[in-house]
Amino acid sequence: MKEQNIIEAKGLVHEYIRRDEEGNVEAIQTALDHVNLDVRPGQFIAILGHNGSGKSTLAKHINALLAPTEGTLYVDGKDASKEENVWDVRQSAGMVFQNPDNQIIASVVEEDVGFGPENIGVPTEEIWQRVEESLKSVGMLEYRTHSPNKLSGGQKQRVAIAGVMAMKPKCIVLDEPTAMLDPLGRKEVLKAVRALNKQAGVTIILITHYMEEVVNADYVFVMDEGKVVMKGTPRSIFSQVEELQEYRLSVPQITLLAHELKKSGLPIPDGILTRDELVEALLSVGQQ
Amino acid sequence: MSIILDKVNYTYSAGTAYEIQALKNINLKMEDGQFIGIIGHTGSGKSTLIQHLNGLMKATSGTIYYNGEDIYAEDYDLRQLRSKVGLVFQYPEHQLFETTIFDDVCYGPKNQGLTKEEAGLRAFEALKSVGLKEELYYQSPFDLSGGQKRRVAIAGVLAMRPEVLILDEPTAGLDPKGRDEILNLVSAMHKERKITIVLVSHSMEDVAQYVERIIVMNHGEMIFDDAPHEVFKHYKELEKIGLAAPQVTYLMHELSENGLPVDVNATTVSEAKDEILKALGRKVC
Amino acid sequence: MLKDITLGQYYPADSILHKLDPRVKLFGTMIYIISLFSFRGIPAFVLATIFLISIIRISKVPFSYMVKGLKSIVVLMIITGIFNLFLTQGEVLVQIWVFKITYEGIKNAVLMVVRLIYLIIGTSLMTLTTTPNQLTDGLEKALMPLEKIKLPVHEIAMMMSIALRFIPILVEETDKIMKAQMARGADFESGNIIKKAKAMIPLLVPLFVSAFRRANDLAMAMEARCYHGGHGRTKMKPLAYGVADRKAYVVLVVYFVLMLVLRFVWVRFVG
């Protein structure tokens, strides 16, 4: 039997409608244009796209923060557009946002992590247990009594992830979690996300515009103007350098260099992802 | 014309338990017309350093000279200095406040004491140089996209016609296209206006292809100050403090260690491509 | 410059007072304030002093911290003292031109200043030993009965705790915007009041815009974490009275009764 998809979107459309003062429709902007998306449990999915490509709108649908104009979206077998499923959907698909400051509610780290479980009515004793586990899973346990204001950006984002983890979701959607961080913070957050995927088996949907971050994903979707325009493994996506550049995405230096060298006539394989791969390819060319 | 920092120190919350020395004995000369990159991660002191350059922060000890004048001298006009040393803060779009883009850009020149007409001319010139479409000039700055807002904010500083332009992580939070647009814009301004530019960033790859000099900050200290390829030679030390050199630098070192005769000083993709093709005996095209 | 503001300054220490339920401390502060303004006579004054000193000792907060709080009201104390000194009718001791210093005036002035000092120290003892979050929790629980008359107690408490979290962030943001506008030549210091008020616009507009943006983001983040008001919510740190809290209530009641008795006796026999 086929395993049930944790997220299944079919023909998803979302239109932002701007009205004038009398309520007449002034402009319609199609943010999602017939998007299909299947995610299996335990997968690490990346969604790439420039600002305004519709990727954040898609993320908000998965968490039932926005309802589709057209099409269907099932999250863990539940129809996300139905009012009565909203709380179940939000619990099974947690969400981490871009700005680390604007999603931390409490003035003490552990109280913030406990906020989600409190909302869904988890008994007190279990909240403490969940808070401890979640903080441990992102390596922030020693900061449990600290004020979030004193933490670095990467640490704040890890607290936000712990806050979602404490709700025991099956899937976490991260909407550009590293866009406001420096390279150190970016590394910290990605490491934590990867560990959750590998160790806790949580399905990850990472939304980003940094291509370097998707190298380890199982599957990559590229969005542009509300449509899914490319999909495949990182390697197959990265081998289409010119297409990616058309979609306003920058290719990692190594991949770009490999592509340029290939264009100049060197026999190098497609879709080089890492430095080691390129070194190996170039040395074997040198030996010929 | 130049900026000279002489033994500059800065301590936050001096005398309390939270005392942090943010700048330690900084000696520095920024020559006229240079394009300088300041690199360091959050908390390295790079933002503190640039706020000293236009007198927004005052050194705990040490002296700063602008064009040979001590900016801490009693009769020195700090407001005048601020219009000569333009500083674009991180996320500068958060400072926009006027009802139209044009008025917002006029704010700086008006503060300089220029007439409405002069300020307007400056605003036109600045908005043009950041490449904003003319039909947008009289719209609200709050309706623009993130990248456009940022360009308007940069124009707000440019309109003061600074002799030195400092940008604190001008590409933070932008997508790759937006990032390239801003960096190309800054680079073009350097070429056309010949003004000194100081670009603060935490990304080596971003600055490597633009700047002629890199200053690396770590824990309040200036640990390197040299041409990019000289700084990148220390890629192992850079990595220790959490600042990787461009990927290309690593690649070139690895190739050279494995016997491929390439110049390890190549830092950009196109330089690397030429080097590799040369080393492999192919025609460079 | 703005970073020096500390709101709800909490002094972390391991004391009985720190561990008490915030409701006890709220109630205690109230009782203490009432007792200060209703007592009469030396014995009651001595009792209030002994009570305050012992609480300070128990709290393990250095005395210098409380004195800091007093500095901000020095002017108020001087004004209160002077008013009472010169404006109280009674037996004239010294007369300088139209200003009369009376026996009652001296008594009242001393009394009022002492009351003010005790009041400030007493209330700052509460904020020094209770985190803002505990205070909010305490208020929420203490006010719960008012929910019956449709007072949105949970919402008020939630608003307070969010405000506490965002005040430092907004303070920092104000600092940043101020610097950014100063880099564009803004001058916040010179000129008359109207000019100064006008100079604030470039600071206030971005600050409001940012506060709204943050509020919007935060509301979405709270919703994403299944927040839907106080209904059906559990607590990570529920308030529950312990042995120490009950003892504290007893001490407070005994103190209050003693003060009442002393007042009654003093009025009856001394006048």
Distance CA B146, CA A88 (A): 34
B20, B93, B168, B269: best to mutate for the A interface, most A CBs within 10 A: B269
Cα distance from C132 to chain B (closest Cα, Å)? 21
Q: Which chains touch A (3 or more CB pairs under 8 A)?
A: B, C
Residues of B in contact with C183 (CB under 8 A): 54, 56, 82, 86-89, 157
The residue among C105 and A172 whose pLDDT is bigger is: A172
Residues of A in contact with B277 (CB under 8 A): 261, 264, 266
Torsion angles phi and psi, residue B173, rounded to 5: 75, 0
Average pLDDT of span A89-93: 93
Q: Is the pLDDT of residue C147 over 90?
A: no
Residue C2 is predicted with a pLDDT of: 40
Q: Where are the domains of chain B?
A: 246-280
Q: How many residues does chain B have?
A: 285
C172, C184, C214: best to mutate for the B interface, most B CBs within 10 A: C184
C6, C136, C236: best to mutate for the A interface, most A CBs within 10 A: C236
pLDDT tens digits for range B13-34: 776 666 788 999 999 999 999 9
Question: Among all residues of chain B, which has the CA nearest to that of A261?
Answer: B273
Q: Does A95 touch chain C (CB under 8 A)?
A: yes
Residues of B in contact with A283 (CB under 8 A): 255, 258-260
Nearest alpha-carbon partner for A7 in A95, A98, A92: A92
* CB-closest option in B94, B108, B142 to C177: B94
pLDDT tens digits for range A93-110: 999 999 999 999 988 899
Residues of C in contact with A144 (CB under 8 A): none
Cα distance from A182 to chain B (closest Cα, Å)? 7
Evaluate the CA torsion angle A14, A232, A94, B178 in order and state its sign.
Answer: negative
Residue A2 is predicted with a pLDDT of: 53
Cα distance from C214 to chain A (closest Cα, Å)? 6
The tokens of A31 are what? Answer: 């943010």
The pTM of the full predicted model, rounded to 2 decimals, is: 0.86
Q: Does A215 touch chain B (CB under 8 A)?
A: no
Distance CA C196, CA C243 (A): 56
Residues B70, B76 contacting (CB under 8 angstroms): yes
Q: Do A121 and C227 touch (CB under 8 A)?
A: no
Letter string b/e over residues A154-179, b meaning 16 or more CB atoms within 10 A of that residue's CB: bbbbbbbbbbbbbbbbbbbbbbbbbb
The residue among B1 and A123 whose pLDDT is bigger is: A123
> ipTM higher than 0.90?
no
Distance CA C31, CA C47 (A): 14
- Say which DSSP state A102 is in: G
Q: Do A260 and B279 touch (CB under 8 A)?
A: no
Q: Do A104 and C165 touch (CB under 8 A)?
A: yes
Banded pLDDT at C139 (limits 50, 70, 90): confident
Q: Is the pLDDT of residue B12 over 90?
A: no
A50, A253, A254: best to mutate for the B interface, most B CBs within 10 A: A253
pLDDT tens digits for range A200-253: 999 999 999 888 888 889 999 999 999 999 999 998 998 888 898 888 887 888
Give the bridge partners for B218, in sequence order: B221
Q: Is the pLDDT of residue C70 over 80?
A: no
Distance CA C258, CA C266 (A): 12
Residues of B in contact with C210 (CB under 8 A): 94
Q: Is the pLDDT of residue C164 over 90?
A: no
Q: Do A283 and B277 touch (CB under 8 A)?
A: no
Q: Does C178 touch chain B (CB under 8 A)?
A: no
- Contacting A residues, span 59-78, partner chain C, CB-CB under 8 Å: 60, 63, 65
The tokens of A1 are what? Answer: 């039997």
Q: Is the pLDDT of residue C7 over 60?
A: no
Residues A171, A93 contacting (CB under 8 angstroms): yes
* CB-closest option in B146, B172, B205 to A51: B146
Distance CA B145, CA B168 (A): 20
- Three-state secondary structure call for residue A185: helix
Cα distance from B7 to chain C (closest Cα, Å)? 24
Q: Do B280 and A285 touch (CB under 8 A)?
A: yes
Cα distance from A20 to chain B (closest Cα, Å)? 15
- C-alpha distance across the termini of chain A, in Å: 50
* CB-closest option in A265, A278, A286 to B251: A278
Q: Do B242 and A184 touch (CB under 8 A)?
A: yes
Residues of C in contact with A127 (CB under 8 A): 234, 236
Q: Which chains touch C (3 or more CB pairs under 8 A)?
A: A, B
Provide the percentage of residues in chain C whose pLDDT is more than 70. 96
Average pLDDT of span C66-73: 74
Residue B220 is predicted with a pLDDT of: 93
- All structural domains of chain A, each given as residue ranges with its CATH number in brackets, are 7-233 (3.40.50.300)
SS3 per residue for chain B = CEEEEEEEEEEECCCCCCCEEEEEEEEEEEECCCEEEEECCCCCCHHHHHHHHCCCCCCCEEEEEECCEECCCCCCCHHHHHHHEEEECCCHHHHCCCCCHHHHHHHHHHHCCCCHHHHHHHHHHHHHHCCCCHHHCCCCHHHCCHHHHHHHHHHHHHCCCCCEEEEECCCCCCCHHHHHHHHHHHHHHHHHHCCEEEEEECCHHHHHCCCCEEEEEECCEEEEEECHHHHHCCHHHHHHCCCCCCHHHHHHHHHHHCCCCCCCCCCCHHHHHHHHHHHCCCCCC
- Say which DSSP state C39 is in: -
- C-alpha distance across the termini of chain B, in Å: 41
pLDDT tens digits for range B160-206: 999 999 999 999 888 888 888 899 999 999 998 889 999 999 878 77
Distance CA A9, CA B66 (A): 61
Size of interface A-C (CB pairs under 8 A): 94
Could you tell me whether strands B221-226 and B213-218 are parallel, antiparallel, or unpaired per DSSP bridges? antiparallel
B195: left (phi over 0), alpha (psi -120 to 50) or beta: beta
Residues of A in contact with B42 (CB under 8 A): 152-153, 182, 184-185
The tokens of A151 are what? Answer: 């933490």
Question: Among all residues of chain B, which has the CA nearest to that of C186?
Answer: B111
Q: Do C183 and B79 touch (CB under 8 A)?
A: no
Average pLDDT of span A170-188: 91
For helices C153-183 and C193-224, angle between their N-to-C axes, nearest 10 degrees: 130
Distance CA C208, CA A94 (A): 29
Question: Among all residues of chain A, which has the CA nearest to that of C132?
Answer: A107
Residue whose entry in the numeric block shows the structure tokens 């890890």: A158
Residue C6 is predicted with a pLDDT of: 41
B32: left (phi over 0), alpha (psi -120 to 50) or beta: beta
Q: Is the pLDDT of residue A1 over 60?
A: no
Average pLDDT of span C258-267: 87
Angle at C266 between CA C261 and CA C267, to 5 degrees: 100
Nearest alpha-carbon partner for B52 in B22, B97, B93: B22
Residue B1 is predicted with a pLDDT of: 67
Provide the percentage of residues in chain C whose pLDDT is more than 90. 28
Q: Is the pLDDT of residue C202 over 90?
A: yes
Q: Does A177 touch chain C (CB under 8 A)?
A: no
Q: Is the pLDDT of residue A155 over 90?
A: yes
* CB-closest option in A152, A183, A260 to B269: A260
Average pLDDT over chain B, rounded to an integer: 90
Banded pLDDT at C76 (limits 50, 70, 90): confident
Residue A165 is predicted with a pLDDT of: 95
